[in-house]
Amino acid sequence: MICGPATGARESSVPVRLWICYNGRMQVWTVSQVTEKVLGLISSDTSLADLWVAGQISSLHRAASGHWYFTLVDGESELRSVMWRGLAGRVSRMPSRGDLVDAHGYVGVYERGGYYQFYVDTLEPAGIGTLWEEFARLRARLEAEGLFDAARKRPLPEHPRRIGVVTSPTGAPLQDILKVLASRYRLAEVVLSPTLVQGQEAPDGIARAIARLNRLADVDVVIVARGGGSLEDLMPFNDERVARAIAGARAPVVTGVGHETDITIADLVSDVRAPTPTAAAALVVPDGTQLSADIAQARLRLVEAMRRRTGELRRDLAQQMRLLQTAHPRRALVEKRQRLDDRAERMAYAMRSRLGTQRAALAATAQRLRALDARQIMGRGFALVLVEKTGERLSSVLQVHPDDQLSIQVTDGSVAARVCQVSTPRSTSGSPAC
């Protein structure tokens, strides 16, 4: 027989506790069974297998193995996260505590610890995820229109007489292009159509520059180029105006935007995509140098081809790793890998515990001293609120009433505010006035 307190019963004025007893057998789960159940629920949810998460880095720790362990927070919740060494090595800069980031990966369960965590494969500064979403939406729409179809790609002329170049007149890509053209094919004439290649005015400028070359009947091929940069820097080449200008160009268009791994909408619309501005120049002209120069250029092309192939293989590998991370057989490897990290951390802690205790005491003392500094407290997002009519520090809702004026002191100044509503856990005075 099993007895337990009744649930869902109405409250009564009679001070008694109601228990219900019934015959039956209570199912008792093991801890492992509960964890396995949670793992199954998370694994079955496809929305958790491929997602972007925006948050702030907290308690970042790099293990001796090279793996990153950190927490993503948003002011209301925390999400344990891990990024393996091979993936972390592709991050341009190790983030710091407090950084706002966009992280991509999947949600899984660390069975030994009995908690869920976020397995990160991509980590970018905040805002990158939004730009990627905009990029993906435009790419899908233009692809549906057929702007990326191979059938509309035009071949490049074998012996161009006039080459149009759309880029900044002061940037390094122009000099790189001119240098390559001078060394490979001196018979071609270069027509520069200058434009901005970065900033809000760049998309219109690039489109107008292509339109100017369209009005010249003897331009055989067009190079659209700029140097490398961040995703935000390359966004003009992910603009619909630029894409449609390239699609409507009279002559074939070769794009050389960014670095080898940078792929833009402009690259997808163009007739030929080159990994760099230098490579774009080499693609549009034949090699007219002597045999030694032929060998040197062939060597450069081989290097570029190897780099392109390496980039493709890296992208394929990243895709396969994402797929592998979502597959069940990999869970055992993930479990053992994290167990190894746990054991390594315990061994390291045991070796340095004596020294660590002294360091911790010193750090705690320093932290207490810093915590007493009002400027440090304000620097973490706190503020001093004063009631203007009394000059008192605001510590209770009982000190103010609706329409009272407040002065909010922060590190670099103050903000004036007016009380719209005063609320307590059980009551609310006044009505919102603002």
Per the structure, the count of domains in the chain is 3
Gap between the Cα atoms of 208 and 249, Å rounded: 11
Claim to verify: residue 205 and residue 272 sit in the same structural domain: yes
Claim to verify: residue 51 and residue 198 sit in the same structural domain: no
> Which residue carries 């009679």 as its tokens?
14
Gap between the Cα atoms of 378 and 412, Å rounded: 9
Non-local CB neighbours of 199 within 8 Å, separated by 6+ positions = 236
DSSP 79: E
Domain extent at residue 243: 131-288
71 contacts 81 by C-beta, under 8 angstroms: yes
Gap between the Cα atoms of 112 and 338, Å rounded: 9
| CATH code at position 116 | 2.40.50.140
Q: Which amino acid is at 65?
A: S
> Which residue carries 């293989």 as its tokens?
313
What are the 10-residue block averages of pLDDT along the chain, 434 residues in total?
A: 50 48 67 88 89 87 92 87 91 81 92 91 75 80 92 92 94 93 88 92 94 92 87 84 94 88 87 93 82 73 89 86 69 76 82 79 80 72 85 85 87 87 71 60
pLDDT at 207: 95
Non-local CB neighbours of 278 within 8 Å, separated by 6+ positions = 176, 177, 180, 256
pLDDT at 333: 72
Residue 3: left if φ>0, alpha if ψ -120 to 50, beta else—which one? beta
Gap between the Cα atoms of 125 and 121, Å rounded: 14
Predicted TM-score (pTM) of the model is: 0.44
Helix (H), strand (E) at residue 174:
helix 172-184
pLDDT at 168: 93
**Domain finish residue from 80, 100, 130:** 130
Claim to verify: residue 36 and residue 149 sit in the same structural domain: no
Residue 229 in domain: yes
Residue 284 in domain: yes
Residue 385 in domain: yes
**Domain finish residue from 130, 161, 190:** 130
